[in-house]
Amino acid sequence: MDQSKLTEYWHKNLTYVVILLCIWGLVSYVLGIIFVKPLNAISIGGFPLGFWFANQGSEVIFVILIFVYVGLMSRLDRKYDVQE
């Protein structure tokens, strides 16, 4: 396979990684730590929102992020024919 295709594959991979890591940082560090106090003013059910992001939300979203990455990369691997 020619090098430019491979470079394109690698750059798409990096784009996915950067986007997903932004979400990773957003739910844990931004919503769960930096803005926890203002978010705690909002309640969902009995959970103050900031507290929920730190206590439960981040963990659940982390799991989803990994499976989204797996899905995106499987598609990308096939498209660029680099799969095993």
Partner 1 sequence: MSILTWTYIMVGITFSIYIVIAWRSRVATTAGFYVAGKGVPAIFNGMATAADWMSAASFISMAGLISFLGYTGSMYLMGWTGGYVLLALLLAPYLRKFGKFTVPDFVGDRYYSDTARVVALICAIFVSLTYVCGQMRGVGIVFSRFLEVQVHVGVIIGMAIVFIYAGLGGMKGITWTQVAQYCVLIVAYLIPAVAISVHLTGWPIPQIGYGAAISAVGPEQGKYLLDVLDVVNKDLGFAAYTSAFAAGQKSMLDVFMITFALMVGTAGLPHVIIRFYTVPNVKSARISAGYALFFIALLYTTAPAVAVFARYNMIDTLNDKPYKQAPSWFLNWQTTGLMAWVDKNGDGIIQYRPGDPFVGPPKFKEADGKIEHGKFGEPLVTNKLTDNQNELYVDRDIMVLANPEIAGLPNWVVGLVAAGGLAAALSTAAGLLLVIGSSIAHDLYYRMINPQASEALQLTIGRIMIFVAICVAGYFGVHPPAFVAQVVAFAFGLAASSFFPIIIMGVFWKRTTREGAIAGMIVGIVFTAAYIIHVKFMGAGFWFLGISAEGIGTVGMIFNFVVCYIVSLLTPPPPQDVQDMVESIRYPRGAEAAKAVH
Binding site for partner 1 (CB under 8 A): 6, 9-10, 13, 17, 20-21, 24, 28-29, 32-34, 36-37, 40, 44-48, 50-52, 54-56, 58-60, 62-63, 65-67, 69-70, 73-74, 77, 81-84
The residue among 4 and 84 lying less far from partner 1, judged by its C-beta, is: 84
Question: Tokens 């990684």 correspond to what residue?
Answer: 17
CA–CA dist 39, 34 (Å, integer): 10
Taking the complex as a whole, the smallest distance from the CB of residue 4 to partner 1 amounts, in Å, to: 14
Q: E strands, 2-63, where?
A: 43-44, 47-48
